[in-house]
Amino acid sequence: MSEKSNRLTGGQVISRILKGYGIETAFVLAGAAHSHTLYAFQDDGMTVISGRHETGTVGAADGYARITGKPGIAMISGKQGMPNAMGGIQTARMACSPVVVFASVYADPSRESLGDEGEDPLEMAKPYAKWCRVVPTVDRLAEFVHAALRAAMSGRPGVAVIGVPLSIQSAIVDGDAALGVRPLSTNGSEASADSIEAAVEMLSNAKRPLVLVGSGAGLSNAGSALRSLAETYRLPVLGHALGRGLVPEDHVLGFSWPLAQVAAKEADAVLVVGMRLSQRIGYGLAPRFNPKAKIAQIDLVANEFGRNRVIDVPMLGDAALTVSKLSEALSKAGSSAFGDPTWVNDAMSARLKRIDELGRNETGLIHPTRIGRDLMDVMPDNAIFVGDGADALNWMFGVTRVSGDRCYLDHYPLGSMGIGTALSIGAAAAERELSRQENRDAREVVLVTGDGSFGFYASEWNAATLAGLKVVCVIANDGAWGTEKNGQLASTGRNVNCELGQANYELIGQAFGCFGECVENPKDIKPALQRAFAASRTTIINILTDPDAGLERKKDPRLQMITFEDLPSSHRAHYSPEVA
């Protein structure tokens, strides 16, 4: 390389490093804050998705990261943009999603002693980021970019924020070996032989063993190992968050945690793989779980053990490696199938029967379960499903099934409404990139959201149109903040400040260049979905649903796949209510 060709701008340094790691898509809000980096992206063939809100931009990078397993790249203005970005940063952090936020900042000499900014331009992000630094000089830019990427990916993944002064992006530096790819994470370690032996003994002595898998299992690509474990030993597996679909939800061996959680109280031994025993999991406590059940837990981080209850067999290590070693140890011990897993279906029978009764009418008001059933009939098996909202997501938990690795995303555990829009756009961008790299068709991306959650980041559909991305967006529109409204009605009989009205949300999609249609009759749902899957671009389907369906959910525990009611009591007494 000649001396002339070896001279790079800071923006080119960033672009070349990202390309070296196989990252070909970045999510960027506007242009001036990152001009020279964007010029480099364009010259290097990087795809830029132009966001409309900073949380939408970071959220799209989050969706990209969850689907690809690579760091998602978001670029924002560090001054005005950081406050807006915090919702996306928090969502990615709590979901353990590897995201790197490039924030343009002003160089130190530009700050005034009595100016509007504090001393630290990234101060707001530091409590929530794994790694947060400002690049000091252009000659150290490559070092800091590598460090940010590694911080996001190593150990338990999370968010890294790198402040890049505007002057550094345009400065000239000598290109050298510092651009080369470096390991972003160390090789995972398996749990100790003693803990694996203890887990073998626990499972072998169980009559009703159960496996729970969460995002940690998905992040470690443990699907193959889990499927082998489940099939060989007839172990029922309940998936949650990014763990859904690692064992296909066939209701033989694979189930979703939200739907099948009622079976947990009947298990006498539970293997937890990459899942935090948080509020959504009942903290691992009674009555969601049998208080006498033995629990083994696999996690990368030791402080997850004993967070809310005693863990009988803590297993510190990578999920995929440890599950594989556990399977080997079971084989060496001469273990055979652990019985008939149909007890999980028996435990769900009352719940499944009640859900099956809903949404069967061909005329009249649309029950949200009808949306999920019709969607399951027409959605490809390998499609990526994104869930958002509260009541809308609850109903989808009751009727949807996931059947593949990295096929499910939602806003859990933060629960920030509306982020599903950004996640779905990021997932669609990820699939386009992966399908090109792997020479295959891109998987379809489907978002089911509520009317309240749709309103938060609706302008991000402009980003989808500008980028030529396709998402099938379905709005379950009950004309209200449904779970809030029905919570008020169930507890006091009153409803204040929860009505939203029946807005024509499909017109918002049309305004941004998407297809859009409104559905009011049950029999029209499936044809609308079929048109959306056949379309060449994003479709927004606004489905008007029964406004009283959510109140029914509040009153019937069999319909509560998401249980908010146990949160205050669990914090006070580590106790959860019965679920049915």
Residue % of the chain over a pLDDT of 70: 94
Q: Is the peptide bond before 287 cis (omega within 30 degrees of 0)?
A: yes
Q: Which of 179, 208, 231 is where one domain is finished?
A: 179
**Interhelix angle 419-438/54-68, nearest 10 degrees:** 40
By the 10 Å C-beta count (0-12 exposed, 13-18 middle, 19+ buried), 197 is classed as middle
Q: What is d(CA 450, CA 434) in angstroms, rounded to the nearest whole number?
A: 29
Q: Is 141 exposed, middle or buried (0-12, 13-18, 19+ CB in 10 A)?
A: buried
**Confidence band for 337, pLDDT divided at 50, 70 and 90:** confident
d(CA 305, CA 109): 47
Q: Burial code of 158-189, b = ≥16 C-beta within 10 A, e = fewer? A: bbbbbbbbbebbebebebeebbeeeebeeeee
The reported pTM is 0.95
My answer on whether 368 and 488 are in the same domain is yes
197 vs 366: CA distance, rounded Å: 52
Given 152, 179, 206, which residue is the final one in a domain? 179
What average pLDDT is seen over the chain?
93
Residue 2 confidence (pLDDT) above 70:
no
Domain holding 559, by residue range, is 358-573
The answer to whether residues 126 and 202 belong to one domain is no
CATH number for the domain harbouring residue 200: 3.40.50.1220
Determine contact, residues 202/270, Cβ cutoff 8 Å: no
CA separation (Å) from 361 to 201, 368, 392, 526, 558?
50, 12, 19, 14, 20
For 493-532, what is each residue's pLDDT tens digit?
999 999 999 899 999 999 999 999 999 999 999 999 999 9
- What are the tens digits of pLDDT across the range 276-293? 999 899 999 988 999 999
Residue 492 Cα to chain centre, angstroms? 34
Decide the pairing of beta strands 254-256 and 408-410.
unpaired
173 and 213, same structural domain? no
Which of 111-120, 131-140, 410-419, 557-566 is predicted least confidently?
A: 111-120
Residues 207 and 156 in one domain: no
Q: What is the CA radius of gyration of the chain?
A: 24
Domain count, the chain: 3
Do 418 and 552 have their domain in common? yes
The tens digit of pLDDT for each residue in 197-216 reads 999 999 999 999 999 999 99
pLDDT at 5: 58
pLDDT in tens, 306-329: 988 899 999 999 999 999 999 999
User: Is residue 72 situated within a structural domain?
Assistant: yes
Greatest pairwise CA separation for the chain in angstroms:
77
Instruction: Write the CATH number for 96.
Output: 3.40.50.970
Domain co-membership, 147 together with 247: no
User: What is the per-residue pLDDT across 522-576, written as a single tens digit (0 to 9) for each?
Assistant: 999 999 999 999 999 999 999 999 999 999 999 999 999 987 654 444 444 444 4
Residues 387 and 294 in one domain: no
Confidence category of residue 106, pLDDT binned at 50, 70, 90? confident
- Which of 136, 151, 179 finishes a domain? 179
| 337 and 198 in a common domain | yes
**Residue 386, token pair as written in the block:** 């994104």
Residue 184 has pLDDT above 60, yes or no: yes
